[in-house]
C-alpha cells in the first residue's frame, strides 16, 4: 500500500513517535538501567530521521524559511570543517535539527491543527514526568562527574526552558484553535507545570523567561500594545546584551540579583566566559573556530564551556558568516508578517515564544534547541496568514468556517 506525504502527516501515531524521538529524555543517556531503552530510542531517532528526509524530498512544497535555516546550518558546518573541528558530531546534530524543522514544516502544511494538538500533548506528558522527578528527587536523578550538573528526567535545570517554552506556546495555540472549558483547564494546568518546574528546579533564567512570557500575555488582547511591547523587548534585548556582556551593568544590580535570584553578579561565571569569547572572536571574526557541540570552545583553566550567550556562541562557532545567516531567519519572518495579512491571533503567541527565546539568549545559547527552530517554522507557516488580496488562509478555511 502506497503511503502519501499527506497520509503520513495525518497519522497521529507518526506525529507522536516523531515528537518522542526528538524530545528524548536526557536521563536515558546517563543511567545504566535505561541502556536498552536508550538503544531503542537511538534506533527510533535514526528511523524517524530517514523517513522524514525521504518524504520531504517527495513533497514538492516546502516553506521558504527552510532555506534560511538550512543556510545557517551549512554556515556552521562549513566553519567547523574549515577549522578541522568535530565534523561528524556537528553533522549529526545539524542533520537531526534539519530533519526536525522539515517535519514541523510538513506537519503545519498537511494538518496544523493535529500537529499542534499532538505536539502539545507529548510535551505536556514529558513536562509532567519531569516535574515529578524534580519534586521526588530535588538533588537530581543523576549528577554528572565533570561539571557536577544535576540531571532530572528531561534535562538539567538550565535545559528546562528548552521544552517548557514550546510546550506552553503549543498550549496557547491549542486553546486559540478551540476555545472551550476543557482547553482552558488544560492551559491553566500547563502554566502550573511550567511555573513549578522553574521554581522547584531553581532555574533563574527559565523563571525570568516565564515571567516575561506572562507579561506579554497581558498585552495580547491589544494588538497595538503588543506590537509596541514587542519592539520594546527587542530594543531592551540589544541594550541589555551590550550592557551586560560588554559593560557589565549587572554589577550595579548585584543586591537584586543576589537577593531575589540567589545568583552572584558575575552570573555564575558567565562574565569570565564572555571575556574569553570576545577575545576569541577578535582572533577569527569571519569564520570563528567551528561549532563544538560536545564541550564548547571556551577554555578556562582545564575546563571547556559554551559561550552562554547566543550571539557570542554563533560568532565563536561560525563568525560573521554564521551570524548573518542567523539574522536572515529573523528577517524572513519579519518580511512575512509585513507583507501578509494575519488571519489568526495564534501568530502572536508564537512571536511571544520567539521573543522569550531571544531574551533567554542573553545568558544561554539555545543553538541546538528543537523548540527554538520549531517556533521559527511555525511563525512562517501559511496557517496564520494570507497574501494581501489573496485567497483565504488555512486557518480561515478550516477553523473559522467550521466554527460558524
Mean pLDDT of all residues in 130-134: 93
pLDDT at 31: 77
Mean of pLDDT values over 125-141 = 91
pLDDT at 125 over 90: yes
Residue-wise pLDDT for 17-28, tens only, equals 999 999 999 888
The residue ranking higher by pLDDT, 273 or 147, is: 273
Q: What is the mean pLDDT of the chain?
A: 83
Q: What is the pLDDT of residue 404?
A: 44
Q: pTM to 2 decimals?
A: 0.87
Q: Per-residue pLDDT for 388 more than 60?
A: no
Of residues 52 and 351, the one with the higher pLDDT is 52
Average pLDDT of the residues in 333-353? 82
Domain boundaries, given as residue ranges, for the chain: 5-403
Secondary structure, 3-state, the chain: CCCCHHHHHCCHHHHHHHHHHHCCCHHHHCCHHHHHHHHHHHHHHHHHHHHHHHHHHHCCCCCHHHHHHHHHHHHHHHHHHHCCCCHHHHHHHHHHHHHHHHHHHHHHHHHHHHHHHHHHHHHHHHHHHHHHHHHHCCCCCEECCCCCCEECCCCCHHHCHHHHHHHHHHHHHHHHHCCCHHHHHHHHHHHHHHHHHHHHCCCHHHHHHHHHHHHHHHCCCCHHHHHHHHHHHHHHHHHHHHHHHCCCHHHHHHHHHHHHCCCCCCCCCHHHHHHHHHHHHHHCCCCCCCCCCCCCCEEECCEEECCCCHHHHHHHHHHHHHHHHHHHHHHHHHHHHHHEEECCCHHHHHHHHHHHHHHHCCCCCCCCCHHHHHHHHHHHCHHHEEECCCCCCHHHHHHHHHHC
Look up residue 306 and give its three cell numbers. Answer: 559554551
pLDDT score, position 248: 64
Average pLDDT in the 134-146 region?
A: 80
pLDDT at 403: 45
pLDDT at 22: 94
* pLDDT given for residue 400 in this prediction: 47
Q: CA-to-CA distance for 168 and 115, rounded, in angstroms?
A: 14
CB 326 within 8 A of CB 365: no
Q: What percent of the chain has pLDDT over 90?
A: 38
- The residue ranking higher by pLDDT, 114 or 267, is 114
pLDDT value at residue 214: 78
What is the pLDDT, as a whole number, of residue 116?
95
CA distance 234 to 228: 10
- Does the pLDDT of residue 326 top 90, yes or no? yes
Task: Give percent of the chain with pLDDT exceeding 70.
Answer: 82
Please say if the pLDDT value at position 353 is more than 50.
Answer: yes
Amino acid at each position: 500500500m502506497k503511503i502519501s506525504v499527506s497520509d503520513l502527516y495525518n497519522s497521529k501515531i507518526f506525529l507522536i513517535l516523531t515528537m518522542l524521538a526528538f524530545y528524548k529524555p536526557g536521563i536515558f543517556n546517563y543511567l545504566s538501567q535505561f541502556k536498552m531503552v536508550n538503544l531503542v530510542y537511538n534506533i527510533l531517532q535514526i528511523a524517524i530521521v530517514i523517513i522524514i528526509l525521504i518524504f520531504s524530498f517527495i513533497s514538492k512544497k516546502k516553506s521558504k524559511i527552510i532555506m534560511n535555516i538550512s543556510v545557517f546550518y551549512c554556515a556552521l558546518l562549513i566553519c567547523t570543517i574549515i577549522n578541522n573541528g568535530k565534523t561528524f558530531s556537528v553533522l549529526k546534530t545539524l542533520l537531526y535539527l534539519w530533519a526536525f524543522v522539515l517535519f514541523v514544516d510538513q506537519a503545519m502544511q498537511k494538518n496544523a491543527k493535529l500537529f499542534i494538538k499532538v505536539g502539545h500533548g507529548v510535551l505536556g506528558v514529558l513536562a509532567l514526568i519531569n516535574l515529578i522527578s524534580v519534586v521526588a528527587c530535588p538533588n537530581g536523578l543523576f549528577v554528572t562527574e565533570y561539571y557536577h550538573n544535576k540531571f532530572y528526567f528531561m534535562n538539567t535545570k538550565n535545559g528546562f526552558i528548552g521544552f517548557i517554552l514550546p510546550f506552553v506556546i503549543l498550549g496557547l495555540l491549542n486553546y486559540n484553535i478551540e476555545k472551550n472549558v476543557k482547553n482552558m483547564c488544560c492551559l491553566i494546568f500547563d502554566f502550573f507545570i511550567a511555573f513549578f518546574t522553574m521554581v522547584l528546579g531553581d532555574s533563574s533564567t527559565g523563571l525570568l523567561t516565564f515571567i516575561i512570557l506572562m507579561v506579554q500575555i497581558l498585552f495580547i488582547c491589544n494588538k497595538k500594545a503588543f506590537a509596541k511591547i514587542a519592539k520594546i523587548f527587542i530594543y531592551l534585548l540589544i541594550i541589555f546584551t551590550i550592557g551586560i556582556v560588554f559593560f557589565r551593568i549587572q554589577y550595579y544590580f548585584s543586591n537584586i540579583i543576589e537577593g531575589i535570584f540567589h545568583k552572584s553578579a558575575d552570573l555564575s561565571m558567565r562574565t569570565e566566559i564572555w571575556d574569553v569569547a570576545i577575545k576569541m572572536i577578535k582572533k577569527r571574526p569571519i569564520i570563528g573556530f567551528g561549532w563544538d557541540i560536545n564541550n564548547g570552545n571556551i577554555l578556562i583553566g582545564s575546563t571547556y564551556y559554551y559561550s552562554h550567550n547566543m550571539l557570542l556562541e554563533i560568532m565563536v562557532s561560525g563568525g560573521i558568516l554564521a551570524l548573518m545567516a542567523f539574522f536572515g531567519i529573523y528577517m524572513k519572518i519579519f518580511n512575512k508578517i509585513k507583507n501578509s495579512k494575519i488571519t489568526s491571533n495564534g501568530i502572536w503567541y508564537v512571536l511571544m515564544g520567539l521573543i522569550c527565546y531571544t531574551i533567554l539568549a542573553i545568558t544561554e545559547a539555545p543553538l541546538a534547541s528543537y523548540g527554538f527552530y520549531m517556533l521559527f517554522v511555525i511563525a512562517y507557516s501559511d496557517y496564520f496568514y494570507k497574501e494581501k488580496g489573496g485567497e483565504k488562509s488555512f486557518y480561515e478555511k478550516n477553523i473559522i468556517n467550521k466554527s460558524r
